[in-house]
Amino acid sequence: MTVDAGHSAASRTDFSSNLAGRHSTSARWRLVFMASTILAITFLGALILTIIDDAFGYVLMVDAVDQKSLEQDGVPLLEMDANGLRAVIEENLSNRRQRALNRELPFEERSTADLLEIVLAEIVKPEVVATYTLYESLFNKRAIVDNASTAWPDSTLVFRSWVSMRFLSSSQTARPMTTGVLTAVKGTLLTIAITLLFAFPVGIAAAIWLEEYATDNKLNRFIQVNIYNLAGVPSIIYGMLGLAVFVRVLEPLTSGSAFGVTASGEVANGRTVLSAGLTLAILILPVIIINAQEALRAISGSLRHSSLALGATKWQTIWHHVLPASFDRILTGTVLAVSRAIGETAPLVVVGASTFLTQDPSGVFSKFTTLPIQIYQWTSRPQPEFRHIAAAAIVVLLALMLSLNAFAIVTRNRLRKQKRFG
């Protein structure tokens, strides 16, 4: 009873004097933390909105020759088949030019898209005078129309979805109005197929070695540390490796000349789909290994023990029990890695992606381009049309990645269900 009541009361007020202030500081900072989170999400929103904004919108075009005058039996130009287009060319193009084009490739052998390209480029000669974003098209339509009718009275204003079936199914051309992503999509799919074919088995095997077999010795520890290090190496370095090894040293193999294959007369110099796929495989290998290791580590020891106690060998245990049990996780990890590979650009530029392909890639020894490469090239062009094309290609790329992830989730869930009831 040495502390008197007065003293303790005084100290209590001392302590509580700034409590309200402390609470309001706490609340303010809470808002700051929340704001930074919201800001991060806003970025994602802005990114997506920008892409959508650029992928649709009005295009103001002036044609040298009115497209309506070219209609055949009421069929508009853009919906014509090859025969109709050939007729248009015959009617409107000078004989000399026709002969020149025919010498390049006979009209009978040209595809519809190719013919349309000729009609647009040689006869209609439309010129894009202005493009508008989706936002402008929706909320500033009046200004756009006014501006169009005063500045370019002959122009046509069309609402254009830059992502369209035509865009998806057309090969690469030099003009933004007619170009498509088919070449790039084919290139991406072929490249990724090579990547997966190599990286998936090798990655899983390496993970099995490290998790199930490797004893704790210097070599295995070194391999493990090395894999972590490789996962942090910038992707462009892998591009340099691919350039020096796959494109140059292994050129006979990667160009196909060692197998007597040349991609329809083109000289690819080792700058092929195969080189690109292998480069990406080496790039994502550490990621696949690390993910698969985690998947294997998640399997309980009791599963392994119960199998071994039955006189199963190590490999029988892994093949029959450990791998099936961890496969859903391995799949998810692999899809994450492959998603990364699909979006990679820098290493492929270094390995030697083609800037312009006259032919779609047809096999592993073809020259290649991929979706990200196309996006890079279109984005770096100053003309506004290319910016819309880039946005459209981004939509395709993101859709591809999204569907891959969706496929993985569905498959994983099906596997999990099987595990439970099978």
Partner 1 sequence: MNLLTKRSETTRLEAAIHASESEYALEAKNLSISYGDFKAVKNLNMGFERKKVTALIGPSGCGKSTALRAFNRMNELIGGVHTEGEVLFHGVNIYDPDVDAVQVRRWIGMVFQKPNPFSKSIYENIAWGARINGYRGDFDELVENSLKQVALWDEVKDKLKDSAYALSGGQQQRLCIARAVALKPEILLMDEPTSALDPISTAKIESLLDELKKRYTIIIVTHNMQQAGRVSDKTGFLLLGDLVEYTETKTLFLNPIDERTENYISGRFG
Partner 2 sequence: MFSATRAPYSAILAAGQIKASQMKQEHSALYPEEESGILTFTKRSRPVETLIQAFLFFCASVSIFTTLGIIIVLGVESSAFFREVSLLEFLTGTTWQPTIGMFGILPLLNATLMTSLVAMLVALPLGLGVAIYLAEYASERIRETLKPILEVLAGVPTVVYGYFALTVVTPFLRSILGQDTIEVYNTLSAGLVMGVLILPLISSMCEDALSSVPRSLREAAYAMGATKLETSVKIIVPAAFSGIAAAFILGLSRAVGETMIVALAAGAGPNFTLNPLKAAETMTGHIVRISGGDISYDSMDYRSLFAIALVLFIVTLLLNAMSRRIVKKYREVYE
Q: Does 380 bind partner 1 (CB under 8 A)?
A: no
For residue 86, give the nearest of 119, 124, 122 by alpha carbon.
Answer: 119
Nearer to partner 1 by Cβ, of 299 and 400: the residue is: 299
Segment lying near partner 1 (by CB under 8 A), choices 11-19, 225-233, 319-327, 394-402: 319-327
DSSP annotation of 178: T
Q: Does 343 bind partner 2 (CB under 8 A)?
A: yes
Q: Does 321 bind partner 1 (CB under 8 A)?
A: yes
Least separation in angstroms between residue 315's CB and partner 2 is 5
The answer for 260, left when phi > 0, alpha when psi is -120 to 50, beta otherwise, is: left
Least separation in angstroms between residue 220's CB and partner 1 is 12
Give the span between the Cα atoms of 274 and 200, in whole angstroms: 16
Which one among 3, 32, 309, 310 touches partner 2, defined by CB under 8 A? 32
Q: Read out DSSP for 304-345?
A: HHHHHTTT--HHHHIIIIIHHHHHHHHHHHHHHHHHHHHH--
Q: Helix or strand or coil: residue 7?
A: helix
Q: Does 303 bind partner 1 (CB under 8 A)?
A: yes
Which one among 44, 158, 165, 310 touches partner 2, defined by CB under 8 A? 44
Least separation in angstroms between residue 313's CB and partner 1 is 5
Nearer to partner 1 by Cβ, of 108 and 216: the residue is: 216
Name the token pair of 170. Answer: 């057309």
Per partner kind, with CB cut-offs from 5 to 8 A, the member of partner 1, partner 2, none near residue 422 is partner 1
Give the span between the Cα atoms of 99 and 94, in whole angstroms: 9
Q: Does 311 bind partner 1 (CB under 8 A)?
A: yes
Which one among 119, 241, 273, 276 touches partner 2, defined by CB under 8 A? 241
In angstroms, the Cα distances linking 72 to 86, 107, 124, 212, 311 are 11, 18, 14, 71, 79
Is residue 65 within 8 A of residue 120, CB to CB? The reply is: no
Which one among 121, 197, 214, 253 touches partner 2, defined by CB under 8 A? 214
Least separation in angstroms between residue 205's CB and partner 2 is 4
DSSP annotation of 77: G
Burial class (CB in 10 A: 0-12, 13-18, 19+), 136: middle
Q: Does 164 bind partner 2 (CB under 8 A)?
A: no
Q: Does 217 bind partner 1 (CB under 8 A)?
A: no
> Which residues in the 297-326 window bind partner 2 by CB under 8 A?
313-315
Please count the residues of the chain: 422
Q: Which residues contact 170 (CB under 8 A, 6 or more apart)?
A: 113, 178, 179, 180, 181, 182
x-marked contacts with partner 1 along 386-415 as a string, rule CB under 8 A: ------------------------------
Least separation in angstroms between residue 290's CB and partner 1 is 21
Q: Where are the alpha helices (DSSP H) in 132-181?
A: 134-139, 141-151, 165-169
Name the token pair of 172. Answer: 């690469």
- Number of residues near partner 2 (by CB under 8 A): 86
Which one among 88, 181, 210, 389 touches partner 2, defined by CB under 8 A? 210
Which one among 11, 226, 229, 316 touches partner 1, defined by CB under 8 A? 316
Q: Does 312 bind partner 1 (CB under 8 A)?
A: yes
Q: Does 214 bind partner 1 (CB under 8 A)?
A: no
Largest CA distance in the chain: 118
Q: Does 325 bind partner 1 (CB under 8 A)?
A: yes
Nearer to partner 2 by Cβ, of 124 and 199: the residue is: 199
Least separation in angstroms between residue 393's CB and partner 2 is 9
Q: Does 417 bind partner 1 (CB under 8 A)?
A: no
Q: Does 96 bind partner 1 (CB under 8 A)?
A: no
Name the token pair of 307. Answer: 């199998």
Is residue 93 within 8 A of residue 122, CB to CB? The reply is: yes
Q: Helix or strand or coil: residue 396?
A: helix
Least separation in angstroms between residue 24's CB and partner 2 is 10
For residue 20, give the nearest of 32, 28, 31 by alpha carbon.
Answer: 28
The footprint of partner 1 (CB under 8 A) covers 216, 301-313, 316, 320-321, 324-325, 419-422
